[in-house]
């Protein structure tokens, strides 16, 4: 199955209203804090650098509530993240520490660490991109343990909530073939299934039907939900579907795709073996959709 599916995090949203209590919890022996900087994670080798409160406050004398995000509890352990503005201080303090993106870490991290890192970088990215109120333009500040940004203008005082962009991704089949497509900017020979963002006022199924038509000129039927994957590059929720095309003729209607074609299972096997076809990233829902069809 695809990555980022860990389901044991209790987010304990009820604790978010009490920053003093959260600060106390963060200082407990069974609490751990993940520093994050611009969607990158501090790592030592293949492990995430999780810090205790004392380790963090050794480096930053003033550990600020506005940078502390409460991720939640797993078993007896409390998890926080900390938005770093100056990662170089931690890099100096700890041996052989470097900044890495989650995409390269997913294959080596535990399921829990990948998932928690994903939550941490998702919310950090939202903070970085929502520093100002979209209604009045005044600065916003972090509140509710990092899950709300509030406008600092008292006459506005709007609360802004973390944003997630809904996207659909769909394995479209016709008889014994699957539709694989590629965009010009992808690495050579990389193919995937069609995908796109959901538009305002649109259901997920309508988005699938529209994307199939816009990208490949196809009409689809029997649209079935497959599963979903939070995909933090930078802030999407991928909702996976399968669907059947009512006809095989492909028409590239917009500039989004460079190529689209039907492939049988044996064609895929052959092309993958010879390196002429590179399937999507192993831990993605797109790859899982393709493998699900290959194995069906």
CA gap 191, 147 in Å, rounded: 36
CB of 153 to Zn ion, least distance (A): 5
CA gap 241, 225 in Å, rounded: 5
CB of 18 to Zn ion, least distance (A): 25
107 versus 137: smaller Cβ distance to Zn ion: 137
Residue 130 DSSP SS3: coil
Asked whether 15 and 70 are in contact (CB, 8 A), the reply is: yes
Residue numbers at the binding site for Zn ion (CB under 5 A) = 133, 135-136, 138, 151, 153, 156, 158
- Angstrom CA distances, 271 to 191, 192, 209, 265, stand at 11, 14, 28, 10
CB of 169 to Zn ion, least distance (A): 35
Asked whether 102 and 121 are in contact (CB, 8 A), the reply is: yes
CB of 148 to Zn ion, least distance (A): 13
CB of 152 to Zn ion, least distance (A): 8
148 versus 156: smaller Cβ distance to Zn ion: 156
Angle between helices 265-273 and 285-294 (to 10 degrees): 120
Asked whether 170 and 211 are in contact (CB, 8 A), the reply is: yes
30 versus 131: smaller Cβ distance to Zn ion: 131
142 versus 242: smaller Cβ distance to Zn ion: 142
Q: What is the CA radius of gyration of the chain?
A: 22
158 versus 287: smaller Cβ distance to Zn ion: 158
């Amino acid at each position: 199955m695809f990555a980022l599916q860990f389901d044991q995090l209790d987010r304990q949203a009820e604790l978010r209203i009490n920053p003093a209590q959260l600060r106390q919890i963060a200082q407990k022996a069974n609490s751990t804090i993940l520093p994050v900087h611009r969607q990158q994670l501090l790592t030592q080798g293949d492990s995430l650098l999780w810090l205790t409160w004392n380790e963090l406050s050794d480096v930053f004398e003033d550990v600020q509530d506005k940078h502390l995000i409460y991720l939640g509890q797993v078993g007896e352990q409390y998890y926080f993240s900390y938005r770093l503005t100056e990662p170089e201080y931690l890099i100096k303090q700890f041996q052989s520490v470097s900044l890495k993106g989650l995409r390269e870490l997913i294959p080596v991290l535990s399921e829990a660490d990948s998932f928690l890192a994903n939550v941490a970088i998702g919310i950090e990215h939202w903070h970085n991109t929502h520093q100002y109120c979209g209604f009045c333009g005044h600065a916003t500040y972090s509140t509710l343990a990092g899950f709300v940004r509030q406008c600092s203008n008292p006459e506005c005082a709007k609360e802004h909530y973390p944003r997630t962009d809904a996207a659909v991704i769909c394995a479209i089949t016709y008889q014994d073939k699957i539709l694989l497509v590629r965009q010009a900017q992808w690495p050579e020979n990389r193919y995937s299934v069609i995908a796109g963002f959901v538009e305002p006022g649109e259901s997920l199924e309508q988005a699938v039907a529209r994307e199939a038509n816009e990208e490949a000129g196809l009409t689809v039927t029997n649209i079935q939900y497959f599963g979903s994957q939070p995909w933090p590059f930078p802030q999407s929720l991928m909702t996976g579907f399968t669907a059947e095309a009512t006809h095989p003729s492909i028409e590239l209607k917009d500039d989004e795709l460079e190529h689209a074609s039907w492939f049988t299972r044996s064609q895929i096997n052959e092309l993958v073996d010879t390196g002429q076809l590179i399937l999507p990233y192993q831990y993605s829902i797109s790859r899982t959709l393709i493998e699900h069809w290959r194995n069906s």
